[in-house]
Amino acid sequence: MGLRRLSNTTQLLVKARPPIPGLMRIPIEVPGLDTILPEVAEGSVVVVESGADSAKNFFVRRLGLTALRIGSPVTFVISRDRAELLGLLSQEGGPGGVNGGLTILERDATADLSEFAKRGGLLAVDSFSLLTLDLEAAELAAMLRGLRAQCREKKTSVVLGTDRGMFEPRGEAIVAHLADGVLQFHSREGPEGLVRFLRIPKWTGGRFYDRNIYYEFDGSRIAIDLRSRVL
């Protein structure tokens, strides 16, 4: 359904270390944010949502690079160009010494992601909202339930990148309800320009954070500012 092309397994050079036995969580390597959200747990499905801010895409790629460094397989299912993603990962990963197993699948649409969760490691889907645009609410819910079951069985961590405004309200509520965690990137005009902040309405283990987490993004780094502000 809507398959544009599938890559062969791509060998990406990244700095890596052997996986720690019995420890499969993927650290969130964003200083400041890692004190609130230390990791993405194995077997969990988390949503990373934003508007037009490219920090969301950067965050998803950063998780992929981190997973590769700790020796986990990484599968990207994407709605954009494969060569573009591979170039960004190579640029952001820097020179490395150990091959990491990266698979990139480029699609126009999808109605089932459970097959991609069978590899274990990390499954990153961006843009999930675009790839599932034609699904009815019941189909979307069934797809996510199947994905949750598969990722729990295979201990796969799943990150779904979504774009605000693509889902109908009911679809957006379904995705948030069935996800184990939701991380939202927001931006708003302030007196001195654009103000960026994160919201965490839910996370794995029943955690949440009820304050805005402010950040800046320069295209290559997310800088967290934990000071309180008034918008």
CATH code where residue 169 lies:
3.40.50.300
**pLDDT bracket for residue 227 (50, 70, 90):** confident
Using only C-alpha atoms, the chain has a radius of gyration, in whole angstroms, of 17
**Residue 12 pLDDT exceeds 50:** no
Q: Is the pLDDT of residue 3 over 60?
A: no
> In this model, does residue 176 exceed pLDDT 70?
yes
User: Can you give the residue range of the structural domain that contains 114?
Assistant: 3-18+25-194
156 has a pLDDT exceeding 80: yes
Q: What pLDDT score was predicted for residue 33?
A: 94
pLDDT of res. 91:
86
pLDDT at residue number 86: 86
Question: Residue 111's pLDDT is what?
Answer: 93
| Count of structural domains within the chain | 1
Give the pLDDT band (50/70/90) at residue 228: low
Grade residue 11 by pLDDT with cuts at 50, 70 and 90: very low
Helix (H, G, I), strand (E, B) or coil at 106: strand
Tell me if 173 is assigned to some domain: yes
| For residues 130-158, average pLDDT | 95
Contact criterion met (CB below 8 Å) for 40 and 63: yes
Q: Is residue 81 included in any domain, yes or no? A: yes
Q: Is residue 10 one of the residues assigned to a domain?
A: yes
Q: Is residue 207 part of a domain?
A: no
Q: Which pLDDT score is estimated for 196?
A: 93
Mean pLDDT of the chain: 85
Name the helix (H) or strand (E) containing 199.
strand 193-202
**Which pLDDT score is estimated for 208?**
80
Banded model confidence at residue 95, pLDDT cuts 50, 70, 90: low
Q: How far apart are CA 183 and CA 49, in angstroms?
A: 6
Best mean pLDDT range from 24-28, 93-97, 154-158: 154-158
pTM metric for this prediction: 0.85
Tens-digit pLDDT profile for residues 118-130: 888 999 999 999 9
Backbone φ and ψ for 141, nearest 5 degrees, come out as -65, -45
* Res 17 pLDDT > 60: no
In a domain, 218, yes or no: no
User: Does residue 212 form part of some domain?
Assistant: no
Tell me, yes or no, whether 209 lies in a domain. no
137-154 and 169-178 are packed helices; what angle lies between their axes, rounded to 10 degrees? 20
Residue 168 lies in a domain: yes
Question: How far apart (Å, rounded) are the C-alpha atoms in residues 42 and 130?
Answer: 25
Mean pLDDT of 24-44: 91
The predicted structure's pLDDT at residue 5: 38
Structure-model confidence comparison of residues 18 and 165, the more confident one? 165
In 3D space, the residue among 122, 115, 180 whose CA is nearest the CA of residue 143 turns out to be 115
pLDDT reported for residue 191: 79
